[in-house]
A and B are shown apart, each in its own frame.
Chain A
Amino acid sequence: MRFDHRHLLGIEPLRPDEITTLLDLADRYVDFNRRPDRHARALSGLTQINMFFENSTRTQASFEIAGKRLGADVMNMAMQASSIKKGETLIDTAMTLNAMHPDLLVVRHPHSGAVNLLAQKVNCAVLNAGDGRHEHPTQALLDALTIRRAKGRLHRLTIAICGDIAHSRVARSNLLLLHKMENRIRLIGPPTLMPSGIDAFGVEVFDDMREGLKGADVVMMLRLQRERMDGGFIPSEREYYHRYGLDSEKLGYAMDDAIVMHPGPMNRGVEIDGTLADDINRSVIQDQVEMGVAVRMAAMDLLARNLRSRPSEIIT
């Protein structure tokens, strides 16, 4: 078992066996999390700082719970209200925090590559909790774990990702991960929401949702950002729902046992029908949230092991 990474900045640098290692460990944490006593010591004595330069409730809570269950000292910093408003640059913020000797830094930032930049300037392990439209690795890993547990495998599946692919870091990371694990990937959405150069990604692209869902084992819906709804990228909310909203009729084109996923938060009646989202026979959306905590525990555990095995850079 090897997971030789200092940071978790994206799916791109991970090998398939490393992904499997991480998911195997996360599987154990799923069981652990269902026990009544949920205190472990994997991160005991370590300091975890969650730095969110962009609003987040779910991801931040998930990282916080993951850290606390593993015994870390967790601190949340709402960066939007902080020094960044006073004109401090990202690098200065990073240097300041670095001087406080954190062990794990969980970062979300509205600009692609910002987390990579920050990781170059600190001594601790950095976890990317979403950077711009680049990557959101823990989301892809929790999706992978959800799929693996629901389908019994994570290869040779037909997986449809639907919606705003162009602006989605979730789509980016999922695409990379599912590709590495040798799945058949379909992207469904209006051409205005498809990234450029998509032909070169080794995926099938559909602008007809029914066509794209045919025979899919997994249907992964993406959130449509409010600011994209009115006329800029799509004509209107209701036209979008008409063509790309997932309802039971459209889902009928997928495999009978196809699962429905959504990274949340959902816009009911925009990208997904509310009843379908709550259908426990098809929707695994609640499982995704549960897997999120387990995957983040596994990721931090693995990075912390690497931290501890490395001789200290300060005290010799």
Chain B
Amino acid sequence: MKRTLIVNAQLVDPEAGRVTPGALLIAKGAIAQIFGEPAPVVDDAAVVDADGAFVAPGIVDIGVKIGEPGERHKESYGSAGLAAAAGGVTTIVTRPDTSPAIDTPEALEFVRRRANEAAPVNVLPMGALTKGRAGREMTEIGLMMDAGAVAFTDCDHVVTDTKVLSRAMTYARSLGALVMGHPQDPGLSRGAAASAGKFASLRGIPAVSPMAERMGLDRDIALVEMTGARYHADQITAARALPALRRAKKNGFDVTAGTSMHHLTLNEMDVADYRTFFKVKPPLRAEEDRMALIEAVREGLIDIIGSFHTPQDEESKRLPFEEAASGAVGLETMLPVLLRLYHAEDLDLPTLFRALSLNPSRRLGLDSGRMAEGAPADLVMFDPDAPFILDRFKLASKSKNTPFDGARLQGRVLKTFVTGREVYSYR
């Protein structure tokens, strides 16, 4: 394959925590060499002039829902792959909450085959932790790992039976498997569609205290202490859960945590007049929670930011708020939306890409996420300043349920490379 030289770029290095002007050479699907300014002339390399744009390690998005099998009209591997490429996401880590659930090695093989033939980006599947995500019997964790599962989770079906969960975690530990939990007390959060507080009360929406998340996290951390499992909390969204997370990390448990792009950029008030595109799970929180989450990402307490891409068709959203489906699409919008935090000077770019690319790669034992020689050439080139108004009907996803329709955003993905191959180019 021909070599590619990207010149005139601002290289974002999340490991070193800096942005430097330079150039990089891609060969054999990897970053072969990184140069400072001015870039040297490299023979027989195709030159891509970044024209001052930023180049960062591609996003590794943990927790993406794709409608295969079962709901292909909402999202296919093809459409999700295109959306990911357009959003600078070079690796999709898929959720097993399909119908039926991805809970056997055979189902995983189906996912891998479909992903390979349809998606232009890397796809890594997660498997269900219990059969049918029913919380009763553990899945074939070992066989599924052999088939390529990178983590195990029942997604938003919290395993309520602690005996089942403790056994699954103990078993997972023996294989070194990563267990991803959804910290939420299912009793408290049953039937809730909003966060408890003045807004939910005024709107009359059944609500759950953010304390339910703290309780769920506390329980899961206790089980980590008991079983020694490797654990990742999918979404921490409440300020009150952060001290528990901090303690667990301080005690040296193998615990990491993620949060979602929506909880970092929106709050409960955005639901306004029952706008169901803003209904996500967990529900949007108060502004104080959002501020605390940003701080937690900045200091590294929260390791990972994900889109929690959840495609829903129009019918499941055009319902009264309580009845409407939860979730929002985010693969394509994540970077421009999160750049709001960069423009607001909440997070700098190396910190943002530490949470988007480096940390998720590390947690899954991948080599990507680094701006370093030898790392896979999974890269996103973007102009953080380019302004645009988001039109949901222009999204590549089959489902258009984004809360950012009509939003003024700043930051556009110009090109995306996956193992050195250009998979997206703006216009």
Contact = CB atoms under 8 A, between A and B. Distances in A.
A113 interface: yes
Contacts of B203: 112-113, 134
B320 A197 contact: no
B204 to A, nearest CB: 3
A116 B274 contact: yes
Interface stretch (B33-41, B42-50, B97-105, B193-201): B193-201
A111 B321 CA distance: 8
Nearest to B315: A89
Contacts of A116: 273-274
Given A197-B198, A198-B201, A201-B198, A89 B318 contact: yes
> Interface size for chain A: under 10, 10 to 19, 20 to 34, or 35 or more residues?
20 to 34
Given A133-B204, A135-B204, A196-B196, A112 B319 contact: no
Contacts of A172: 201-202, 204
B323 interface: yes
Interface in B317-355: 318-323
A200 interface: yes
A111 B194 CA distance: 14
B82 interface: no
Contacts of A113: 203-205, 273-274, 320-322
Interface in B257-305: 273-274
A87 to B, nearest CB: 11
B200 A196 contact: yes
Interface in A192-220: 195-198, 200-201
B209 interface: yes
A114 interface: yes
Nearest to A118: B320
B319 A89 contact: yes
Contacts of B178: none
Nearest to B198: A197
Contacts of A12: 202
Contacts of A200: 197-198
> Interface size for chain B: under 10, 10 to 19, 20 to 34, or 35 or more residues?
20 to 34
A112 B205 contact: yes
B174 to A, nearest CB: 43
A12 B206 CA distance: 19
Nearest to A111: B320
Nearest to A166: B201
Contacts of A90: 319-320
B207 interface: yes
Contacts of B321: 111-113
Interface in B191-229: 196-207, 209
Interface in A104-149: 109, 111-114, 116-117, 131-135
Contact of B204 (A91, A117, A132, A198): A132
A169 interface: yes
Nearest to A176: B202
Given A197-B196, A197-B199, A169 B274 contact: no
A134 B202 CA distance: 7
Given A89-B315, A89-B318, A90-B320, A112 B198 contact: no
B287 to A, nearest CB: 13
Interface string A151-180: 000000000000000100100100000000
A91 B318 contact: yes
B274 A196 contact: no
A109 B320 contact: yes
A132 B207 CA distance: 13
Nearest to A91: B318
A316 B84 CA distance: 49
A112 B201 contact: no
A98 B184 CA distance: 42
A195 B201 CA distance: 6
B201 A196 contact: yes
A131 B321 CA distance: 12
Nearest to A120: B273
24 contacts: A12-B202, A89-B318, A90-B320, A91-B319, A109-B320, A112-B204, A112-B274, A112-B322, A113-B203, A113-B205, A113-B273, A113-B274, A113-B320, A113-B322, A117-B320, A135-B204, A166-B201, A172-B201, A172-B204, A195-B201, A196-B198, A196-B200, A196-B201, A197-B200
Interface of B: 196-207, 209, 273-274, 315, 318-323
Given A117-B319, A133-B206, 9 more contacts: A112-B205, A113-B203, A113-B320, A116-B274, A132-B322, A169-B204, A195-B200, A196-B207, A197-B197
Among all A-B residue pairs, the 4 with the closest Cβ atoms: A113-B274, A134-B204, A197-B198, A196-B196
